[in-house]
Chains A and B, each alone.
Chain A
Amino acid sequence: MNTFFQDNKAFIYFAIMALILVFVGMNQSWALALGIINMSLISAIMALGVNIQWGYAGLMNVGIMGFAALGGVSVVLIAQQPVSEAVDAGGFKMFIALIMGAATITAGIFLNRKGINKWLIAAIVVIGYLFTRYYFSEAADIIEKVDPAITGYLGGFGLPIAFSWVIGGAIAAGAAWWVGKITLGLRTDYLAIATLGISEIILYVIKNEDWFVRGLKNVYGLPRPVPYEVDMQQSEWFQNLIAWINRGELQLLSQTEQIEKLTDYVREAAVVFVKLCYSGLFIAILVAFIVLSNLALNSPWGRKVRAIRDNEVAASAMGKDIKRQHLQIFVLGSAIVGVAGALLVTYDGIFIPTSYLPLRFTFLIWVMVILGGSGNNMGSVLGAFIIWFIWIQSGPMGLWFVEMLSNNMSEGSSSLEFIEDRVHYLRLVFMGTILLLIMRFSPSGLLPEKNKQL
């Protein structure tokens, strides 16, 4: 019995998780269950990226949020229609400003390579910066004044949204390359601190640069890769399908009741159908990533990576370039996080900078990876499902707990209001405790990495 459990551990855990989700679907609603599944799938992709960094190579990324946000930005930049008025008004100026900024940086790097006096380089960079900033703030002002209530930004390229997933990955990879290039090869915690820093900065840029992605005003109405609920409700084949599925129940009703009931069913089914479309999409992407990374892990490349993780000195003595390898892995992992970030915004249909919280995007993902078993891809997926489920359901559970308390307290008591107000902060404590407990008592997680003996 015990060995049966050991051999089929992953399958059993996933089956239990599936049963719980089916239970939620039957008792609460299918839309809710599918919502949880979709978010779990996106989180799983993110966790996979982090697992590649942490589990394969021991690289700490404390700025997952920043890379996810870059993915989100790319959706806006790629898929939104351009705002032609704003582009006409300030686009050229902004272009010049950005070119000047880029030129300044390139000049700085180039002159530094040539070994010219450091003060001279500093002076050139400062002057370049001042000019850039002057042009830049002028251009930003012009763009932000174009119909600020609706647009006030440049918009995107109006390309199909699927491009943005690739671009999101690429942008995140670029940022990761830059951070990694500077910090890898130094101490381990430099990377952690630098990722923490870069993710906060990315967030500040997104929140404050209104001309870029509208800042705190959010971007609404992003295009979708799947049909809209309204269209589904009106399409004939969908109505017929729903009528056919529910024919048993509908036959018993009168004509008018039938139509009423059917509209209800169609409305509900449209929501579920759209969510199912998303699920299909996310599953396809997740499976692709899992297959690719498992293949990679079992290839000579994967053996090299694990050798470096387990014994850097030995691997280095065998002539492996550790810094280069770490950079590669860090960039790969961040790219996957970027793709997941883009998928998330695609799924939400809106881009909300304030939703990027370290708790949601850095910490939860960490707990997922460590709970599932770092180094094991299926573990990350399982961890994503479990933690996201707990995260979603702990809200209602907290409220239920407060209600229990309220039965014992007088109505409108101030301490009760106090607790109701703050109970969601306890989720932080709860998740932190889970992380600490797993680290302490089961450091290899639910599905430990399989060490193949050669």
Chain B
Amino acid sequence: MSDSIDIINAFALLTNFVILPALSYGSQLALGALAVTLVYSILRFSNFAQGDSMAFGTMLVIIISGYMISKGWTITGFPTAILAIPLALVGMSIYLLAMDRLVYKHYRKIKAKQNIVGITASIGVMFVTGGIVRFILGASAQRFGDGERFIFSVREFKAFTGLQQGIAFKTSQFLTITLAILLVAFLFYFLQKTKTGKAMRAYSDNTELALLSGIDPDKVVRITWLLVALFTTIAGTLYGLDKGFAPQQYHLLLLPIFASVIVGGIGSPIGAIAGAFLVAFSEILLTYAYKKFLIYLLPLSMHPSSLVQLIGTEYKYAISFVILVIVLLIRPTGIFKGKVIDGD
């Protein structure tokens, strides 16, 4: 390794190990956080079942893509999981709508304190869903990505640029970022421009008034769950392609997702996205070991001997919590002013 200061290589290193992973992790969180935001805005409760719902959607994808691979219905170089999403989406929509019909609908009808009852009910749903997923797929971790692993690998990048430090761009990262941009664009178009989307916003802002102007509440709720199914399934699948599937890990995703939603301002879609990237970047920046990075940047005499890691990787979930606490202490409404006072 050279003893000179090498900014380009340092930057390449950071891109490979911090920026790209954080961008894709942030996109996955953002999709999950948008699902939570949607449920919150329309159904008025914090959905504790989000993490396990993502596991459920991913489970469907794993089963369907497994079947497709066994039949040879694949496209060379492309993850079959992505092809399985549309079908999984149908299953996920049915599951969420059934849960709504069986569990949540009753509490809307009797006009219960929706937030508290909704949380309790969603905790019940969380355990039912988690149990089903663990029963069908087991609790152990599994990988299900097939196809080309990289858009370009470290070696290709090095050969192309001649840099000492390579950057690999994984297919899963590329797909995550692209799909997230498409989905977010779709959501904003839907909410701003279409009639149904406008009805949803009206319902969220002022339910009474929306009902008076003839908006069908059942339809709004149905569309919401369909959107939630879309975001949840895709977020889960992308996370799984990137990091592998394990039910417990998905369950714990609840923490960073909630942190994103609250940091951004609960009920605000833009806030959810901003919050997700804030959480993802903090998590990865704080748990990254900066030793090699500093070796590139500092003269030989100042090279660090330890890993220069701010927080151990095992505490990555603590970071979302700390961010949450700081936000609640300094600005409880979140970055983009959300709803602070209980709406019910």
Closest to B137 in A: A422
Q: How far is the CB of B241 from chain A (nearest CB, A)?
A: 24
B342 touches A200 (CB 8 A): no
Q: Does A197 contact B (CB under 8 A)?
A: yes
B317 touches A426 (CB 8 A): no
Complex-state Cα separation, A425 to B251, whole angstroms: 15
A432 touches B262 (CB 8 A): no
Complex-state Cα separation, A133 to B332, whole angstroms: 29
B123 touches A363 (CB 8 A): yes
B contact face: mostly helix, strand, loop, or mixed: helix
Given A208-B314, A363-B123, A427 and B103 contact (CB-CB distance below 8 Å): no
B128 touches A433 (CB 8 A): yes
A182 touches B127 (CB 8 A): no
A187 touches B324 (CB 8 A): no
Given A60-B119, A188-B115, A433-B128, A422 and B134 contact (CB-CB distance below 8 Å): yes
Residues of A within 8 A of B314 (CB): 204, 207-208
Contact with A along B321-344 (1 / 0, CB 8 A): 100110011001000000111100
Closest to A186 in B: B332
Given A208-B312, A421-B138, A436 and B317 contact (CB-CB distance below 8 Å): no
Q: How far is the CB of A198 from chain B (nearest CB, A)?
A: 7
B127 touches A363 (CB 8 A): yes
Within 8 A of B (CB), among A102-157: 129, 133
A182 touches B103 (CB 8 A): no
B131 touches A425 (CB 8 A): yes
A192 touches B127 (CB 8 A): no
Q: Does B209 contact A (CB under 8 A)?
A: no
A436 touches B128 (CB 8 A): yes
Q: Does B87 contact A (CB under 8 A)?
A: no
Given A425-B131, A426-B135, A439-B124, A188 and B116 contact (CB-CB distance below 8 Å): yes
Given A60-B116, A197-B255, A200-B252, A440 and B106 contact (CB-CB distance below 8 Å): yes
A429 touches B128 (CB 8 A): yes
A contact face: mostly helix, strand, loop, or mixed: helix
Given A429-B132, A431-B127, A435-B124, A201 and B321 contact (CB-CB distance below 8 Å): yes
Q: Does B65 contact A (CB under 8 A)?
A: no
Q: How far is the CB of B37 from chain A (nearest CB, A)?
A: 13
A190 touches B328 (CB 8 A): yes
Complex-state Cα separation, A293 to B325, whole angstroms: 31
B138 touches A432 (CB 8 A): no
Closest to A366 in B: B123
Known: A187-B341, A200-B255, A432-B125. 15 other contacts (CB 8 A): A187-B340, A187-B342, A188-B115, A189-B46, A192-B119, A193-B255, A194-B321, A197-B259, A200-B252, A363-B127, A421-B138, A422-B135, A425-B134, A428-B127, A435-B127
